[in-house]
Amino acid sequence: MHAAVVTRFGEPGVFELTELPDPVPGPGQISIDVSHAAVGLIDVFIRQGLYKERAGLPQPPYVPGLEVAGTIRALGDGVEGFRVGEPVVTLSGTGAEGGYASVEVVPAALTAGLEGTGVDPAVAAAAVPNAATAYLALTGVAHLQPGERVLVHGALGGLASAFPGVARTLGAAGVVGTVRRSSLAAAQASALPYDEIVVGEDLVEAVGEQRFDVVVDPVGGRLRTDSLQVMAPMGRMLLVGNAGGDWEHTVPTNTLWGANLALLGFAVGFYLPAHPELVRPAVQGAVDAIRQGLVDIRTETLPLAEAAEAHRRLENGSVGGRVLLAP
């Protein structure tokens, strides 16, 4: 198989396009002929070495790629409920043998069939894992209730853009997004189901009297602290990433009890493998939102040989949608 291998932690130039033996699925696993692998900021952080001490994450040389669509190539022992040739999507794991390759082996428990859904493979890789994450975070972590109001930071980002649609299907009364000033025009042109998009730097003034029951924060830094001022009593903030790169940022915890607020961390890749029973409802929640046209994300597909270029674009923050690799 062809694979884009991270040969060492470092700059995007550490990728090497390599031929490797085709992997064979073991018990409980399936192999997939990959059609699309989505490139996420988490792939960039891992390649940069930011998580090199974290148990369970790959060490070089490894093949990145956590979100993959394709068709089933072979079934390992004991796998039931799938057939060879079936279109599938994999949900985020944390393994070392990822999807920047023409063939990938994954746990069957973290894979979902797409037959009959009408979701095309590029959209599946780009949106199903993130929309499934949004479904799990909004239902099982933030406990979003019908009629509540949601604020989503980095509104056009790969993960963030899945939240407004899923929140709508769960009965949210309103969804506001924030973006950097440089992304405002693109955000206003987007078909994502936000009621309003404001500039994150101006958050407090821009939302005026509006208060939010759930804040979704994949960006971090000052925006995270500013959000405390616009949360409703008993508001919950989902901490789901750090796209802004301010790793030293801290939140004043005394503000939380005084204002009746909660901060909730959620990382799907470290949660789902221990709770595979949640894969099916999460994917169903994702597919419902996608079929209703509520997760309308822009995608661009590059050849596998351009994995380094895909990573450079994410590092520059110049994507505004999702970049996919096709082997």
Ligand X SMILES: NC(=O)c1ccc[n+]([C@@H]2O[C@H](COP(=O)([O-])OP(=O)(O)OC[C@H]3O[C@@H](n4cnc5c(N)ncnc54)[C@H](OP(=O)(O)O)[C@@H]3O)[C@@H](O)[C@H]2O)c1
Contact footprint for ligand X (CB under 6 A): 40-42, 45, 133, 154-160, 179-180, 183, 218-219, 240-245, 266-268, 314, 317, 319
**Closer CB to ligand X, 72 or 294, in the complex:** 294
How many C-beta atoms surround the C-beta of residue 32 within 10 A?
A: 27
**Closer CB to ligand X, 73 or 153, in the complex:** 153
**Closer CB to ligand X, 287 or 324, in the complex:** 324
Question: Quick check: 290 and 267 in contact, CB under 8 A?
Answer: no
Question: Quick check: 240 and 170 in contact, CB under 8 A?
Answer: no
CB of 227 to ligand X, least distance (A): 13
CB of 221 to ligand X, least distance (A): 8
**Closer CB to ligand X, 65 or 244, in the complex:** 244
CB of 287 to ligand X, least distance (A): 18
**Closer CB to ligand X, 73 or 322, in the complex:** 322
- How far is residue 135's CA from residue 129's CA, in Å, rounded to a whole number? 10
CB of 327 to ligand X, least distance (A): 20
**Closer CB to ligand X, 2 or 298, in the complex:** 298
CB of 273 to ligand X, least distance (A): 12
CB of 128 to ligand X, least distance (A): 12
**Closer CB to ligand X, 182 or 260, in the complex:** 182
**Closer CB to ligand X, 34 or 324, in the complex:** 324
3-state secondary structure the chain: CEEEEECCCCCHHHEEEEECCCCCCCCCEEEEEEEEEEECHHHHHHHHCCCCCCCCCCCCCEECCCEEEEEEEEECCCCCCCCCCCEEEECCCCCCECCCECEEEEEHHHEEECCCCCCCHHHHHHHHHHHHHHHHHHHHHCCCCCCCEEEEECCCCCCHHHHHHHHHHCCCCEEEEEECHHHHHHHHHCCCCCCEEEEHHHHHHHHCCCCEEEEEECCCCHHHHHHHHHEEEEEEEEECCCCCCCCCCCCCCHHHHHHCEEEEECCHHHHHHHCHHHHHHHHHHHHHHHHCCCCCCCEEEEEHHHHHHHHHHHHHCCCCCEEEEEC
**Closer CB to ligand X, 16 or 315, in the complex:** 315
- How far is residue 326's CA from residue 42's CA, in Å, rounded to a whole number? 19
- 130: nearest Cα among 170, 165, 104: 165
CB of 228 to ligand X, least distance (A): 18
CB of 51 to ligand X, least distance (A): 10
CB of 105 to ligand X, least distance (A): 22
